[in-house]
A and B are shown apart, each in its own frame.
Chain A
Amino acid sequence: MTRRILAFVSLVFLAALAPLTAQIGETNNTVVVITSDASNYVLHAGGTVAKMVEDGMDAILIRIGNDEKDSWDLPPEETALRTKQESEAAAKILGINKVISLGFRSSDFRDVPFTTMRDRLAYYIRVHKPRVLFIPNPHTQYDRNHDRYYGGRAAEDAWRAAAFKNYLPAMKDVNLGAHVTPEVYYFAPLVDPARREPESTATFVPQPKMTDISGTLEKKIKAAQALKTINHSVAMRLKQRLDSTDRRLPLLDRVDEASINKLVEERVRGLAQLSAEGTDFQAAEEFRYAGAEYRIPASYR
């Protein structure tokens, strides 16, 4: 009797898994990158995305924010337009073949209803059925740009919501069913002192993962340099700060395209070096990674 009950339970369990397997089976060889702002993903995930493209994946970028605030002396509308065009240029350099700009007002994510942002992201996940997702890490600490927290939170839940057919049920009528994305990379600026602490096992918590970007570092630098409006803003703010405290960075004595590009290059190389610490890589990026081991204990795989 006990054997029969066990056999029945096992059959029910396998039957429950079947749709999940089917959904994973429909996955495209696509990476979808979700970013709150134009520079965050380039600086902290660009090299890895470029490498995946070189290895044969298609890549799509979803920009949540319109980046209207981040310029030195341009009005919001002009800032948003230029950064959109420059984001497209940067994405192209990395090999991303489509950029979707959702147009939420940057720096104002905090009062956007959570589900408004999440459901738009979940829609695109269902449309593109990615194998890999890159999202801002909402669990990172000490990133004082809170758009990344709100965007990351929405993206993380969109990953989950896209996998359940009872979310966004209207899409069922247009044959846009649930989609399980099997791999997720969480990216973040390197400011969290605890960013490499595992917190828990891989079954429960995405684990620290470093990737080798030596082969795509030059591409990443060029992509970062393409974000001209933001880079000009960073350079001018730095120069303003130094001027106001009677200091100078000789590189910025004259702020022009060449000096800004050099500053960006130094920044990207510096980040790659920081992330490579403790690894055998010359240049790296670091993530929290949720792959096959996440939620599925090794003994079940």
Chain B
Amino acid sequence: MNRFTLSIVLLGICGVLSAADLPLVDPPPGKVLLVAQPHHDDHTTDYGLAGVILRFIADGYKAYYVRGTNDEKDGRLGFPRNDMVNLKETYDALRILGMEDHVINLNWRNNFETPYALNDQREQLIFLVRKYKPDAVAGHNAWEHYQKNPGHRNLSWNYEEAYWLAGYRNVHPEHFEMGVEPHETYHYFGKARLDWGRGHRPNVILEMTEEQVKVKEKAIHAHQHVYANPGGARATRTRLAQQGLYLPDLEDVDDDTTAGNMMIEWHMNWISRRWGKEANVKYGEDYYYMGEFYPLPGLEEFLDDNVEAK
């Protein structure tokens, strides 16, 4: 299914989802955002994270990207070259997002995630949280249903524990020999597909400006190795022509790769508008957000009433 058709299908699915007035959130005060994802392109998909990254950077954060796997399966060049090209395009995309060259490669073997010891990857994430001391973290929502990709499933599962366990001195005390200290993070932004069942229920929307949406559109197709889709653009034109229709915006575009990129941008623009509607703003991204007092239900009201500024 090409992206244009996908957009139409998703539009239909989302149309039947009940609209909700989700609250808008802003980046919390802080300096460091640590985004952990398994793959080269997970920082910018139709279901999120680029908006978080751009908003946090706009607020003065430095953002780091943890790429969990070597992406060797994603592409048509064979394992080693897929890894190399996907890594290069990770840097390309992250520069577009303003993350500079802040990439940490864990290089777990792509799509061999299921059999490894979960604690091994979690331990690496705990160490990175201690080293970079993020004020906020972002990744997949570990509770998404029907997530078929073991990379997304396992890394988010590990990250959901790593970001707070890193604050416990009895968890991997050997790290302290390397000069790091316990560090607990208090803000987690989890992304997921809402059309994959009951697991992911966003509880916040992060608003984006039109300019930020444009950056997001560019960042995704920096991954040309896997996203260039000239065939999709050709097929769309052909199908439209069969019905006596055409897309005016594509008329002056001779190159099918460029046309395919334009369609990706339209899709990203559409999904950003779709989520913006949930909070009555023009553009947005949806997240499951776990805040600083999240693990203390029952105390939240007491803390709201009694915590004061120094």
Residues in A lying within 8 Å of B, measured CB to CB:
43, 68-76, 79, 107-108, 110-111, 141-142, 144-146, 189-191, 193-194, 234, 237-238, 241-242, 245-251, 263, 266-274
| A106 and chain B: residue at smallest CB distance | B170
Instruction: Name B's interface SS.
Output: loop
The reply to whether B171 and A69 form a contact with Cβ atoms under 8 Å apart is yes
**Once bound together, how far apart are the Cα atoms of A189 and B299, in whole Å?**
12
The reply to whether A248 and B298 form a contact with Cβ atoms under 8 Å apart is no
Most buried by A among B170, B203, B302: B170
| Nearest 9 pairs of A and B residues by beta carbon | A270-B298, A271-B298, A69-B170, A190-B297, A110-B118, A141-B143, A266-B302, A76-B170, A267-B299
The reply to whether A270 and B290 form a contact with Cβ atoms under 8 Å apart is no
Asked if B119 lies at the interface with its beta carbon under 8 angstroms from chain A, I say yes
| A43 and chain B: residue at smallest CB distance | B298
With known contacts A270-B299, A271-B298, A146–B161 Cβ distance under 8 A = yes
**Beyond the given A144-B160, A146-B160, A270-B297, could you list 7 further A-B residue pairs with CB under 8 A, ordered by the A residue number?**
A79-B170, A107-B161, A144-B290, A194-B198, A242-B307, A249-B303, A249-B308
With known contacts A142-B143, A241-B292, A71–B306 Cβ distance under 8 A = no
List B contacts of A263 (CB < 8 A): 299
Asked if B117 lies at the interface with its beta carbon under 8 angstroms from chain A, I say yes
| A73 and chain B: residue at smallest CB distance | B169
- The 8 A CB mask of B171-202 against A (1 = contact, 0 = none) is 10100000000001010000000000011010
The reply to whether A75 and B199 form a contact with Cβ atoms under 8 Å apart is no
**Once bound together, how far apart are the Cα atoms of A273 and B184, in whole Å?**
29
Counted as pairs of residues, one from A and one from B, with CB atoms less than 8 Å apart, the total is 102
The reply to whether A246 and B309 form a contact with Cβ atoms under 8 Å apart is yes
The reply to whether B300 and A144 form a contact with Cβ atoms under 8 Å apart is no
Least CB distance, B294 to chain A, in whole angstroms: 7
The reply to whether A111 and B119 form a contact with Cβ atoms under 8 Å apart is yes
| A140 and chain B: residue at smallest CB distance | B143
Can you list 21 pairs linking A and B with CB atoms under 8 Å apart?
A69-B168, A73-B169, A75-B170, A76-B170, A107-B165, A108-B119, A111-B117, A142-B288, A142-B290, A144-B160, A189-B295, A190-B298, A191-B294, A193-B201, A246-B309, A249-B307, A266-B302, A267-B298, A269-B298, A270-B297, A270-B298
List B contacts of A70 (CB < 8 A): 168, 170
With known contacts A76-B170, A142-B290, A193–B118 Cβ distance under 8 A = no
**Once bound together, how far apart are the Cα atoms of A209 and B198, in whole Å?**
21
List A contacts of B292 (CB < 8 A): 241
| B145 and chain A: residue at smallest CB distance | A141
Asked if B157 lies at the interface with its beta carbon under 8 angstroms from chain A, I say yes
The reply to whether A248 and B170 form a contact with Cβ atoms under 8 Å apart is no
**Once bound together, how far apart are the Cα atoms of A110 and B143, in whole Å?**
16
List B contacts of A73 (CB < 8 A): 169
Asked if B310 lies at the interface with its beta carbon under 8 angstroms from chain A, I say yes
